[in-house]
A and B are shown apart, each in its own frame.
Chain A
Amino acid sequence: MQIWEAFKMALSAIRANKLRSFLTLIGIISGVASIIAVMTGISVIQKTIEKEMSVLGTRTFQVQKFAAGGPTSEEEQRKIMKRKVVTVAQADAIREKVKTVDLVGSELWDFGYKAKYKNISTNSNLTICGGTPEYPENNTHYVRLGRNLSHEDVKVGRKVVVLGHAVAEELFPFTDPIEKRIKVDGRRYKVIGVFEEKKSAFGAGFDNYCLIPVTVFQRTYGRFNKQGRERSVNVTVRAKSAELLQDAIEETRMVMRFERNVKPGEEDDFTVFSNDSMIKSFNDVTAGVKAGAFLIGLIALIVAGIGIMNIMLVSVTERTREIGIRKSLGAKRRSILTQFLLEAIVLCNIGGVVGVLAGFGLGNVVSILTGFANAVPLEWAVGGLVFCTIVGLIFGMWPAVVASRLDPIEALRYE
């Protein structure tokens, strides 16, 4: 007997008991839908976060005192606090000694300032970055209007500023900001440029800041921040090519270890990260959520599988006479086995398809609610259906074996 015939038989049996088939399927549907929904939801968030996290260019990495994405434990926090600061001199050393890099920028950051133009003032939540001309390239945040900082600006310590999109909009709703004189934190600066808008799915976006020469920042705000801690420079480094990124990271580490007198065998007292490493650490977090969702879905599917087995056993008992008839007409054990096994598998897969579609729908509700890009993780859909087939195979096997072993005489006599 061909598989296609058994398939047709399975479909006709499922159709003959629509309500019962449907009730049995609810278990499978909810199991598959829950797995797919969570996976889709995570994919939606992941896709967005990967985009958001790509603040650094594909061949750029950053060297800093603090851990990327925050410390993982209090103990680590204490250790990191004790680290020496990263300095502009160390950035210069990287620029000089590492041959695989072409751009090395320095950044100092501080938060909670106010900018003012004539009688218009921003809130006291402005971020100031003291940076170098490498800033736009290394952060993939480019100047839309006017010009970028020049090496000259940094060297001479000119009091010039490049405004973030949000700041420019606020201070200059109707006029051209270029060449205008504004006050940042009560000090006078000349506006030389405006950054392009950097949209973010997470809240306000990264537009509420301004960039001034790092030398001006140092001169104005000194070595220590408001909490009295010594300021540490974030060094952004661009490898000459994407292929050289890993080499560049390694060489930079060596230079940094040398500059900071890290003894052989001791671990780095600084952090180097790239987009990839940040995305990877995010994925490590979501891996736990995924594993949890998978486990819950797995349990749901096993419960659903037991439901399938139960209903198939009922079905075999109910159709004992049919099995007897089929055997009297020459159906071999394998034909009966195939028929009932396929029925369980088809049943599971109908549930699987509905579950996958429902899961995609539910998962993408996240994207509708948040405005994130929607996602359809096809690999999970395929995985879900494969899994349904396995559930059908495992839990349909016993009823099918029972059916195939029925004695034709007994079965024909069954009322």
Chain B
Amino acid sequence: MALEIQNVSKTYMMGTEAVHALQSVSLSIEENEYIAIMGPSGSGKSTMMNVLGCLDTPTSGEYYLEGEDVSKMNDDQLAEIRNQKIGFVFQTFNLIPRATVFHNVELPLVYSGTPPAERILMANDAIERVGLTDRATHKPTELSGGQRQRAAIARALVNKPTIILADEPTGNLDSVTGREIMAILDGLHKAGNTIILVTHEQEIAEHAHRIVKLRDGQVESDVRPNRVGRNADVVLN
């Protein structure tokens, strides 16, 4: 089991009104699973991602990540979990603009205290896996959208995390580039990574082998269709 959440609720205060973003959600994700979390805006999708990504802690309920209860951890403990076990891929790439691709990719290793020599090897390795070796010394502003997202994926990979959490990874890309990025994620899954895809696009979600749909802070459906991608393509077209 890669991760498991049990009866997780998250309540925000919006002014004086309490917003129940997640209501007693339970979900478990196996190692090397490829799962998509879908839902319209306001469904609790973002909150789910924040909780799964250890950026936020649930108001109630438990969250076990590789058997470790992370739901009660403090800021610094969560930071360490994010550093060691989670790789983020964001819609807006979130690269540091004044740093080169190499330095962006290297950053998680800096925060984990990896020695410099080792860092260079690991960062270059991750950059090579996404095919950006010839762009390693470029700054993000000198790259295309697809290249930026590849750099972000390299950064997500570099610390060899338990899960890769991709939040609308193709949202800012054209469809051709989007397919390239999805191909890379598919490849990572084949190579053994656990991938959680948060998206509202059916076409993107169908790359996953399991689709969880949220609505109003609750799980609406959790399906594991056989070769979901192929069949859906036929249906949609």
Contacts and interface: CB of A to CB of B under 8 A. Distances in A.
A8 to B, nearest CB: 9
Residue of B53, B79, B112 contacting most chain A CB atoms (<10 Å): B79
A409 B80 contact: no
Contacts of A330: 79-80, 82-84, 108, 111-112, 159
Interface in B82-116: 82-84, 88, 90, 94-96, 98-99, 107-108, 110-113
Given A328-B55, A331-B111, A412 B94 contact: yes
Contacts of A2: 113
Residue of B83, B84, B99, B110 contacting most chain A CB atoms (<10 Å): B110
A27 B50 CA distance: 43
Interface stretch (A50-58, A154-162, A318-326, A381-389): A318-326
A328 B113 CA distance: 16
B113 A333 contact: no
B82 A328 contact: yes
B94 A321 contact: yes
Contacts of B110: 1, 5
Given A2-B113, A328-B82, A408-B55, A12 B94 contact: no
Interface in A303-329: 321-322, 324-329
Interface string B107-150: 11011110000000000000000000000000000000000000
A283 B217 CA distance: 78
Contacts of A5: 110
A222 B162 CA distance: 108
Contacts of B159: 330
Contacts of A412: 55, 90, 94
B216 interface: no
A410 to B, nearest CB: 10
A192 B19 CA distance: 110
Contacts of B95: 325
B98 A16 contact: yes
A321 B94 CA distance: 8
B78 to A, nearest CB: 9
A325 B215 CA distance: 28
Contacts of B82: 327-330
A326 B108 CA distance: 8
Contacts of A12: 98-99
B226 to A, nearest CB: 35
A332 interface: yes
A286 interface: no
Nearest to A4: B116
B98 A332 contact: no
B75 to A, nearest CB: 6
Nearest to B111: A330
A329 B99 contact: no
Nearest to B159: A330
Given A12-B99, A409-B56, A329 B111 contact: yes
A122 interface: no
Interface in A1-49: 1-2, 5, 12-13, 16
Contacts of A335: 111
Residue of B82, B95, B159 contacting most chain A CB atoms (<10 Å): B82
Given A328-B53, A330-B83, A330-B108, A1 B113 contact: yes
Nearest to A329: B108
Contacts of B53: 328
A1 to B, nearest CB: 6
A2 B113 CA distance: 7
A223 B144 CA distance: 103
B45 interface: no
B131 to A, nearest CB: 22
B76 interface: yes
Contacts of B84: 330
Interface in A377-415: 408-409, 412
B155 interface: yes
A133 B209 CA distance: 113
B110 to A, nearest CB: 5
Interface string A325-354: 111111111110000000000000000000
Contacts of B111: 1, 326, 329-332, 335
Contacts of B90: 412
B198 to A, nearest CB: 14
A327 B90 CA distance: 14
A333 to B, nearest CB: 6
A13 B95 CA distance: 15
Contact of A328 (B76, B88, B98): B88
A128 B8 CA distance: 105
Contacts of B88: 328-329
Given A1-B111, A1-B113, A329 B75 contact: no
Given A12-B99, A333-B75, A335-B111, A328 B80 contact: no
Contacts of A16: 98
A332 B112 CA distance: 10
Given A12-B98, A328-B94, 9 more contacts: A12-B99, A326-B96, A326-B111, A329-B83, A329-B108, A330-B108, A330-B111, A332-B79, A409-B56
18 contacts: A1-B113, A2-B113, A13-B98, A324-B94, A325-B94, A327-B79, A328-B53, A328-B94, A329-B82, A329-B108, A329-B111, A330-B80, A332-B79, A333-B79, A335-B111, A408-B55, A409-B56, A412-B55
Interface of A: 1-2, 5, 12-13, 16, 321-322, 324-335, 408-409, 412
The 7 closest A-B pairs by CB, nearest first: A330-B83, A330-B111, A332-B79, A332-B76, A16-B98, A329-B108, A325-B94
